[in-house]
Amino acid sequence: MEEKLILILKDYQQKITSASTLKGLDSLFLALFGKNGEITQATKEFPKLAKEELRVVAPLLARVKAGLEEAVTKRREEIREGGYQKLTGEKLDLGSAELPKDKGHLHVITTFEEKTVSLFQNLGFQRYDAPHIDSDDFNFGLLNIPEDHPARDLWDTLYLDSEKFGIEPGKLLLRTHTSNSQVRIMREHKIPFRMMVLGRCFRYENLDARHEHTFEQFEIVYVDKGLSMANLQYLSEHLLKGIFGEEMKVRMTPGYYPFVEPGAGVDGLCIFCKGKGCKVCGGVGWLELAGAGMIHPTVLKNGGIDPKIYSGIAWGFGPFRMLMLKYGINDIRTFLSGNLKELLKYEEEK
Ligand code: PHE
């Protein structure tokens, strides 16, 4: 019996150390300690043994059993550890996988707007958000556009249903421009401030290739001592050169907006004919790309600012229109259409 036990020990120790899988180890364990396992069988033979022999064999069996159990446990750890090392040693480089090029990209508007924002962040401008649903006062009244003034016709406005919302008729509207931020900004900030506003605007338009009811605007509101039209020219060049390249030329022509005085249209040299005159610019050689001006004294006063001491610049443009020109997109409805086939064609460089 003694010999038999020692044989089992040697034999299985060797088998255990050379086992290479957990499954293999499990079957060795069963072969030893299972119902018909070697060790189990050996134990069953105890009653047959003489007392003398039992005194030697019993502690031996206990040692063999413990030794083999320990060997199995140790090997199990080793195999697990080995598997883990193999995994960590393997390089799984997901970045190297070739992805099809036409998978998708950010919407041209998103990238364009991020770029515009960072152009002005570089000049110290901060983001400001004004509400989409706003009062007639912030959108018009405080901007020097009184009720019934014909200038309101410049903006076809969507008013909220007064009966449905239980409000006074004509008091709440969907903002027609980001200029609804102007007086808010003035009331909320200490001078000097440089703010930029970017967001959705809404108009009651007859929809066609050039008119969309929902669109974006980007606006700048800048108040300090001693600002002039020269600053406006600088900011316009900063934007248009940033978008179209250094060779872009920029000029201002007189333009009417009730909340600026003087008011200006900001023109860029026509990107199609470079000033020679073509169909897109109507033979003029220039394209009007933004509206701007020195903030009207009445608007400054409405914002709690003394126009005798301070002056302000307001300046805004529509990213949709700008991108239509940049990429020759001929239908403004493309942008919000969800027409991926069309939209994927236009990718603005980051
Ligand atoms: N809010 C004007 C518009 O929507 C654009 C503008 C902004 C003009 C700022 C002057 C100054 O047409």
Give per-residue pLDDT as tens, 142-189: 999 999 888 888 899 999 999 999 999 989 999 999 999 999 999 999
Q: Which atom of ligand 1 is nearest to the CA of 264?
A: 10
pLDDT at residue 38 tops 90: no
Q: Of the residues 57, 89, 121, which one is the last residue of a structural domain?
A: 89
Closest CA to 187 of 124, 256, 130: 130
- Indicate whether 279 and 218 sit together in one domain: yes
210's CB contacts (< 8 A; 6+ apart) are 332
pLDDT at 310: 98
The answer to whether position 207 is within a domain reads yes
pLDDT at residue 99 tops 70: no
User: At 174, which helix (H) or strand (E)?
Assistant: strand 172-174
pLDDT band of 34, cuts 50, 70, 90? confident
Q: Which range marks the domain in which residue 25 is found? A: 2-89
- Considering the candidates 132, 152, 203, 333, report the single residue annotated as catalytic: 203
What's the maximum distance between 2 C-alpha atoms anywhere in the chain? 122
- Indicate whether 160 and 292 sit together in one domain: yes
The answer to whether position 16 is within a domain reads yes
Does any ligand 1 atom lie closer than 6 A to the CB of residue 289?
Answer: no
Q: Which residues does residue 220 pair with via DSSP β-bridges, in sequence order?
A: 196, 315
Protein residue with its CA nearest to atom 7 in ligand 1? 316
Tell me: the pLDDT tens digits for 263-322? 999 999 999 899 999 988 899 999 999 999 999 999 999 999 999 999 999 999 999 999
* Gap from CA of 228 to ligand 1 centroid (Å): 17
Integer CA distances (angstroms), 333 to 245, 269, 330, in order: 26, 25, 9
- Indicate whether 76 and 118 sit together in one domain: no
pLDDT at 20: 85
Tell me: the pLDDT tens digits for 109-121? 999 999 999 999 9
pLDDT at residue 103 tops 80: no
Protein residue with its CA nearest to atom 4 in ligand 1? 177
The answer to whether position 43 is within a domain reads yes
The answer to whether position 236 is within a domain reads yes
Percent of the chain clearing pLDDT 70 (strictly above):
99
- Indicate whether 209 and 307 sit together in one domain: yes
| 155 counts as catalytic | yes
- Considering the candidates 75, 217, 264, 266, report the single residue annotated as catalytic: 217
* Gap from CA of 205 to ligand 1 centroid (Å): 17
- Indicate whether 83 and 183 sit together in one domain: no
The answer to whether position 186 is within a domain reads yes
Closest CA to 238 of 114, 110, 117, 107: 117
The answer to whether position 100 is within a domain reads no
- Indicate whether 37 and 127 sit together in one domain: no
Does any ligand 1 atom lie closer than 6 A to the CB of residue 257?
Answer: yes
- Considering the candidates 19, 64, 108, 155, report the single residue annotated as catalytic: 155
pLDDT at residue 254 tops 80: yes
- Indicate whether 36 and 8 sit together in one domain: yes
Parallel, antiparallel or unpaired: strands 250-254 and 214-224: unpaired
pLDDT at residue 100 tops 70: no
- Indicate whether 296 and 240 sit together in one domain: yes
* Gap from CA of 203 to ligand 1 centroid (Å): 14
Parallel, antiparallel or unpaired: strands 193-202 and 126-128: parallel
Q: Which atom of ligand 1 is nearest to the CA of 263?
A: 10
Q: Of the residues 89, 122, 147, which one is the last residue of a structural domain?
A: 89
Highest mean pLDDT among 28-37, 89-98, 151-160, 228-237: 228-237
| 260 counts as catalytic | yes
pLDDT at residue 85 tops 80: no
Q: Hey, CA dihedral for 33, 35, 39, 40, is it positive or negative? A: positive
DSSP sequence for 43-81: HHTGGGS-HHHHHHHHHHHHHHHHHHHHHHHHHHHHHHH
- Indicate whether 67 and 125 sit together in one domain: no
* Gap from CA of 348 to ligand 1 centroid (Å): 25
- Indicate whether 152 and 278 sit together in one domain: yes
- Considering the candidates 177, 184, 194, 321, report the single residue annotated as catalytic: 177
pLDDT at residue 83 tops 80: no
- Indicate whether 233 and 335 sit together in one domain: yes
Distance CA 237, CA 30 (A): 83
* Gap from CA of 321 to ligand 1 centroid (Å): 14
* Gap from CA of 257 to ligand 1 centroid (Å): 7
| 14 counts as catalytic | no
- Considering the candidates 183, 290, 314, 321, report the single residue annotated as catalytic: 314
Q: Of the residues 89, 123, 155, which one is the last residue of a structural domain?
A: 89
Give the count of domains, the chain. 2
Which residue's entry shows tokens 């060790």?
39
The answer to whether position 215 is within a domain reads yes
Q: Which residues does residue 252 pair with via DSSP β-bridges, in sequence order?
A: 266
| 121 counts as catalytic | no
The answer to whether position 349 is within a domain reads no
Output the domain CATH number for residue 245: 3.30.930.10
- Indicate whether 119 and 200 sit together in one domain: yes
Q: Which atom of ligand 1 is nearest to the CA of 220?
A: 9
**For residue 281, what are its two tokens?**
């610019």
